[in-house]
Amino acid sequence: YTLAIITSNSKENCQSILGKELCELFSHIDGGSSIFGKAKRIKRVLNILNLNKEQAIYVGDQTTDGEAAHKAGIDFAAVGWGYTSAEKLKTIQPKVVLTDLATMKEFF
């Protein structure tokens, strides 16, 4: 897999939280906020990594993450143990609702 992070946190904060070893697992980290929204950031990261929409899935824990994924034309995997409840995330029709790390491992 090619892994990337899109976060409203700064890239530096993200790298500090993850640490060097985990950061090395990601091909790209896109940090900071954008007036253009996450959908444009998703498209930009796909372009940077030379990936097409069919090769991508956006994993997030907020309904806005799912909306951005749909707007960018990619699948969305909802993380049901994060900021938003799994029940609320189901309303935006994710490809899958990941209820714990075991279901994440099974899906991917």
Tell me which residue range forms the domain holding 28.
Answer: 4-107
In the chain, the N- to C-terminal Cα span, in Å, equals 9
> The pTM is what?
0.88
Residue 79 to residue 34: CA distance in whole angstroms: 23
Strands (E), the chain: 4-7, 28-31, 57-60, 75-79, 96-98
Q: What is the pLDDT of residues 28-70, one digit of tens each?
A: 999 998 878 899 999 999 999 999 999 999 999 999 999 999 9
Q: How many structural domains is the chain composed of?
A: 1
* CATH code at position 69: 3.40.50.1000
Q: Please state, in angstroms and as integers, the Cα–Cα distance from residue 7 to each residue in 30, 31, 57, 96, following that order.
A: 6, 5, 15, 21
Q: Round to whole Å and give the CA distance between 67 and 1.
A: 23
pLDDT at position 77: 97
What's the confidence (pLDDT) of residue 36? 80
Return mean pLDDT, the chain: 94
